[in-house]
Amino acid sequence: MKKTLLALTTLALASGALAADPPFPKAPSGKVTLEVWSWVPGLDKTVQAFEKAYPNIDVKVTNLGGGPQTYTKLRTALQAGSGAPDVAQIEYGFLPAFVDLGGLEDLSKYGANNYKKYFVPWTWGQVSPDGKAVFAIPQDTGPFAMVYRTDLLQKYGVAVPKTWAEYEKAADTVRQKSGGKVKFGNFYSTFAPWFMALAWADGGQFFRREGDGWVQTLNNPSAKKVLNYWYRLIKKGDVGTLQAFTADYWNAAGAGQVATNMEAAWGPGGYAGSLKDKSAGQWRAANLPQWTAGGTIRSGNWGGSSNVVTTQSKNKEAATLFALWLNLSQSAISNNWTNGGLFPASEAGLDLPVLHDKTKNPSKFFGGQDISSVYARASRGVNVNFQWAPWFPFVNDNFNKQMDLMLRGRLTPDQALDAWQRESLAEAKKQGYTVR
């Protein structure tokens, strides 16, 4: 009886510790209305809990669509000096462009640095590159892991690869045994951040601030290693190049023509939503293959976003409070996961029970596996020092051009990366940046 009571008490204490939100800044007095621009599904429902906790603050959520639509309107408003919201959602890769544009408040003025300890370390590096100024609060993330078809690996007699060497060997085996009908993986040639995440996992650095200038190395050693590796698999017919998020890809994945893929934490939700009952229960998630066997699991990140406060806000303290609450409160993190599939940036968020419910998608689709544990491990293995540059929008688009030329045999992988580096460097200088 005493043992049972002790166990229950311990569980209750542990649950209480997990559920406790950090102490948030004091809310300003008086009636406040905040305008928030975000594309997170169901965010209007999430903020109801905030308004209940802070009855003097009303939050108006406007969904302008995905990033590009929001960025266009936000950029126009910031340049015009009026019309910007109090809080806006910006992806990590595009944040530096808005920092350089001006119009984003330094949240360290409102105590944001006091909350650094609550976030997974690499996410704070995305919003506070110099460790002093804080230009946003981390919201969601996309750490990398591998998804795979258990039935296909069993059919062709290959084990779940733990290293890239094992991955290549397994890819050769599946190609040979399936007569080329099954691709072991897929290379996303039109998504630079997907490729960059793989190099990120190897310690690759594409941009680095240096004093008042920048250093750009799109053709860094890790990028060359990763691209040459995948190009070799593509040429052998081991992996495909189907476009991400297209019917072609989903049809192939559901029909057993793709055995694995490298996906961000938000990716499995797409499998559950797009494939539905087709191949349900046959997928699993595993650590990203490593270049060296043993040791700490290393990963990269694709996607994820943050919440900024604009200098045009007349309620900056309340806006900062909202951005912190939205990304650190158990209520908000749980709702954003349930409604929008946002994988949290906070340490405590990674351990919330709702993320690990095996009876709900995406874990349910993945055979009842607790896939969030795999992705939580991946997030904690992401390199802290990775940076983006203000001219990344051009870099992002130019990647597609170089990959197309490579896949058509016009460029080798090294030549494609060199061209990517050269053309992006020229554009950065054209835009007025001091960069080498």
**CA–CA gap between residue 380 and residue 378 (Å, rounded):** 5
150 and 198 in a single domain? The answer is yes
- Flag whether 284 is in a domain: yes
Q: Are residues 156 and 284 in the same domain?
A: yes
| Phi, then psi, of 90 in degrees rounded to 5 | -140, 135
Both 60 and 169 in a single domain? no
Residues 280 and 176 in one domain: yes
Q: How far is CA 312 from CA 24, 27, 105, 422, in A?
A: 23, 19, 9, 37
Domain membership of residue 7 (yes or no) is: no
Only one residue has tokens 């499998």, namely 271
Each of the 436 residues of the chain gets a pLDDT tens digit; together they read 333 333 333 333 333 334 589 999 999 999 999 999 999 999 999 999 999 999 999 999 999 988 889 999 999 999 999 999 999 999 999 999 999 999 999 999 999 999 999 999 999 999 999 999 999 999 999 999 999 999 999 999 999 999 999 999 999 999 999 999 999 999 999 999 999 999 999 999 999 999 889 999 999 999 999 999 999 999 999 999 999 999 999 999 999 999 999 999 999 999 999 999 999 999 999 999 999 999 899 999 999 999 999 999 999 999 999 999 999 999 999 999 999 999 999 999 999 999 999 999 999 999 999 999 999 999 999 999 999 999 999 999 999 999 999 999 999 999 999 999 999 999 999 999 999 9
**Any idea what the CATH number is for the domain that residue 275 is in?**
3.40.190.10
| 426 part of a folded domain | yes
Domain containing 54: what range?
17-142+302-379
Number of folded domains in the chain?
2
Last residue within a domain, chosen from 341, 361, 379 = 379
Kindly state whether residues 241 and 277 are assigned to the same domain.
yes
Examine the domain organization and report whether 409 and 353 are in the same domain.
no
Closest to 260 in 3D by CA, of 337, 368, 187:
187
Q: Which of 174, 201, 176 is nearest to 186 (CA)?
A: 174
Q: Are residues 170 and 210 in the same domain?
A: yes
176 and 204 both lie in a single domain: yes
